[in-house]
Amino acid sequence: MPIRFDQKPGLVVYITAGDPSLDASRAIAIEAIDAGADVIELGIPFSDPLGDGPIIQRASERALSRGVKLADVLEVARAIRAARPQAGLILFTYLNPILRYGLARFADDAKAAGADGVLVIDMVVEESAEYLREMDRTGLAPVFLAAPTSSDERLEAIAGHSRGFVYAISRTGITGKQQSMTADASALVDRIHRWSKLPVAVGFGISNADHVAQVAEFAEAAVIGSAIVELIERSTPETAPGAVARFIKGLRQSSTALAR
Amino acid sequence: MSSVILPSAPSESRPGRFGIYGGRYVPETLMAALQELEREYEIAKADADFQQELADLLRDFAGRPTPLYFAKRLTEDLGGAKIYLKREDLLHTGAHKINNALGQGLLAKRMGKKRIIAETGAGQHGVATATVCALLGLECVIYMGEVDMARQELNVLRMRLLGAEVRGVSSGSKTLKDAISEAMRDWVTNVRTTYYILGSALGAHPYPTIVRDFQRCISLEMKEQILEREGRLPDAVVACVGGGSNAIGAFYEFIPDRDVRLIGVEAGGRGTALGEHAARFSGGVPGVLQGTFSYVLQDDNGQIALTHSVSAGLDYASVGPEHAMLHDTGRAEYTSCDDARALEAVVKLARTEGILPALESAHAVAEALRLAPTMNPHDILVVNLSGRGDKDMGIIAQELKLEGATSLRG
């Protein structure tokens, strides 16, 4: 299972599959890995992404308007895995597209496509018995979210059921860029570390090298989402992979320098 | 339906489950708030002072009990079952929504929350929430789809007059579903200070239970009133079903009374194709939308379908989970009424009884118009008239002109 963070800080890079096109998503992911991403979080677009902010919501709308389906996203995953077997690959989505596809079928096909894990934003540990059985059966890593509002009891369950890494939400709120990291994030990561030895990746609002360097002080990895998706939105399908690669290289270099 | 696998083992005994439906499917950030709400509600429910304060406000401020009115002319005109109307339209703010808004508003105040958010489709829940916030001195933000803002302009003005901020939602279908998503996003962001007054018996546990409990007064009164008037229970209770709060309120006390038919009426819109209606039980499959597992209108890929109804309040892609259970167990029947029949029902009720129903409620009236003539004169049919039609006058005038008002003789 290649979910691991060899560099400090590790980088998880989110892209919405099919935005701007399936081919471009594959190319962006490969370039991102080559530029220093440890894990790719590949988003399966959903019509009603209530955990996401406007940037990722627009990306989902663009992908859906081009007819992107869950099966297409699995093909993109397969292509990324074939081209870059060393990187981690997580599928990110909402529950309903998976239920409609069939939970067991989804687990089988995601595993066959080469995914390492799955993150379902509206799946909480209490409701996840059957989901966890399927993840366990196929060897996929279930990644759960932990929030600053989660109680210690919940964090224990979240850490206990997560595999690969725990995703710590840096603040209350939806996905999107923010000005500065809040104190919420480091306190949350400390609390998660009490319950688990898994790496913790901090996400929601991480958009520049300063943020990544700050995260490196208290967590194993940072998740970059909306900043990447916005960059893709401003690029053409041809220029997007290069633009994302340059952004990640810049983050990697300056955040490492800042962290020293 | 065969492709759907349940997200977890169904259990009647798990809190927040209605058979296999219901549950809690939300971003982790909201879990603490939902658990706090569940806890605080259980305490409030058992607190005599809370119940008394709510009962006083329901009586003196909202206008309960509402009358159970025998629609004599309509009954004679149709020549079948005796038709009674439960007059929720006579409540303050014009619909049953005030029952729930008062209950949750008091709960929010008790929990020390100063900021209230809500979503609204037809505007009735938004007006009820804005009203309660004014009454209790709470800050109020209402999310409303831009399509709904245009067709329910009067209610937008009412909310603003009451001091609420109305935020238009321009994503997706620009209707109720998108307003709920925006309200949930606001709640995720401001969860520590904000109370979300959800307007129907849907969403994540404990909302479907809380809203049903606050609407249960409808069937409690109905039962008492019909026993007093007729000495027996009705043969059928009919209510429209959007999210399903007025219907669950009207059905709940009759669920153990197996001889009482419970009939929910969904929006048939303008056709049976996906996107042309909001008939979840005939056109949807079980899935998860906005925190709960229930019937959902969706495409083969699990993307939520757009919906259409002449009535903004019924224009929603999912339905409360308790209705999903009542549907599957056969305890309640669900049918649909299209836009045209709903408009005919508005005219019929206006001209036989002098009552202008809301377009939502007109769907239930239309079913009564169809059903009553097939029943015996000693049978009793109760229609839950969930709201009044003032808010819909613009749309009714426009639609009837298009349809040719002169052909719709009362």
pLDDT tens digits, residue range B94-141?
999 999 999 999 999 999 999 999 999 989 999 999 999 999 999 999
- Taking all residues of chain B, what is their mean pLDDT, rounded to a whole number? 94
pLDDT tens digits, residue range B153-193?
999 999 999 999 999 999 888 988 899 999 999 998 898 89
A142, A131 Cβ separation under 8 angstroms:
yes
B15, B321 Cβ separation under 8 angstroms:
no
Task: Give this prediction's pTM.
Answer: 0.95
| Chain B residues near residue A203 by CB distance under 8 angstroms | none
Mapped to the 3 state alphabet, what secondary structure does B262-328 carry? EEEEEEEECCCCCCCCECHHHHCEEEEECCEEEEECECCCCCECCCCCCCHHHCCCECCHHHHHHHH
Place B151 in a pLDDT band, splitting at 50, 70 and 90.
Answer: confident
pLDDT tens digits, residue range A105-163?
999 999 999 999 999 999 999 999 999 999 999 999 999 999 999 999 999 999 999 99
Q: Is the dihedral of CA B67, B72, B75, B77 positive or negative?
A: negative
**Angle of CA points A17, A23, A27, to nearest 5°:** 85
Amino acid type, A254 = S
Asked whether this complex has an ipTM greater than 0.90, the answer is yes
**Inter-chain touch A149–B32, beta carbons under 8 Å:** yes
Residue in the structure block whose two tokens are 């060899």: A6
- Report the relative pairing of strands B285-289 and B292-296 from DSSP bridges: antiparallel
Closest CA to A83 of A141, A139, A44, A40: A40
- Report the relative pairing of strands B115-120 and B194-196 from DSSP bridges: parallel
**Inter-chain touch A173–B189, beta carbons under 8 Å:** yes
pLDDT tens digits, residue range B21-51?
999 999 999 999 999 999 999 999 999 999 9
pLDDT tens digits, residue range A48-105?
998 898 999 999 999 999 999 999 999 999 999 999 999 999 999 999 999 999 999 9
Distance between first and last Cα of chain A: 29
For A241, the 3-state DSSP assignment is helix
Facing A149 at nearest CB: one of B3, B6, B29:
B29
Q: Which of B3, B5, B117, B178 to mutate to test the interface with A (most CBs of A within 10 A)?
A: B5
Asked about A52 being catalytic, the answer comes back as: yes
Mean pLDDT in residue range B259-278: 96
**Inter-chain touch B32–A99, beta carbons under 8 Å:** no
B185 vs A: CB within 8 A: yes
- Distance, in Å, from the CA atom of A29 to the CA atom of A115, rounded to the nearest integer, reads 13
Strand partners, B68: B86
Facing B28 at nearest CB: one of A100, A129, A150:
A150
Residue A6 has pLDDT above 90, yes or no: no
* Residue B58 per-residue DSSP state: I
For residue B206, cis peptide bond before it (omega within 30 degrees of 0): yes
